[in-house]
Amino acid sequence: MVITIDGPSGVGKSTVTRAVAAEYGFDFLDTGAMYRAATVAALEAGVPLDDSQAVADVVLKSDIRYVDGAILLDGRDVSDAVRADEVTGAVSAVSAIPEVRHRLVGFQREWVVKRNGNAVVEGRDIGTVVFPDAEAKIFLTARPEVRSARRAGDAEAANLSTHAIETKLRERDFRDSTRAISPLHAAEDAVVIDTSDLSLAEVVSRVLEVVAASRC
Ligand code: DC
- pTM (2 d.p.): 0.92
Please tell me the residue having the least CA distance from ligand 1 atom 18: 123
Of 50, 82, 114, the residue that ends a domain is 114
- Considering the domain architecture, whether residues 105 and 133 belong to the same structural domain is answered as no
Answer yes or no: are the C-beta atoms of 172 and 151 closer than 8 Å.
no
Strands (E), the chain: 2-6, 27-30, 64-67, 70-73, 76-77, 119-123, 136-141, 191-194
Would 150 be classed as within a structural domain? yes
Please tell me the residue having the least CA distance from ligand 1 atom 16: 124
* pLDDT at residue 195 in the model: 95
Residue 7 Cβ < 6 Å to ligand 1: no
- Considering the domain architecture, whether residues 56 and 135 belong to the same structural domain is answered as no
Q: Is the pLDDT at 169 greater than 80, yes or no? A: yes
Residue 31 Cβ < 6 Å to ligand 1: yes
Percent of the chain past pLDDT 90, that is, above it, reads 76
Q: What is the pLDDT of residues 75-103, one digit of tens each?
A: 999 999 999 989 999 999 999 999 999 99
Q: Average pLDDT, stretch 128-135?
A: 97
Q: What is the pLDDT of residues 21-43, one digit of tens each?
A: 999 999 999 999 999 999 999 99
Residue 157 pLDDT level (bands cut at 50, 70, 90): low
Q: CATH number of the domain that 186 lies in?
A: 3.40.50.300
* pLDDT at residue 21 in the model: 97
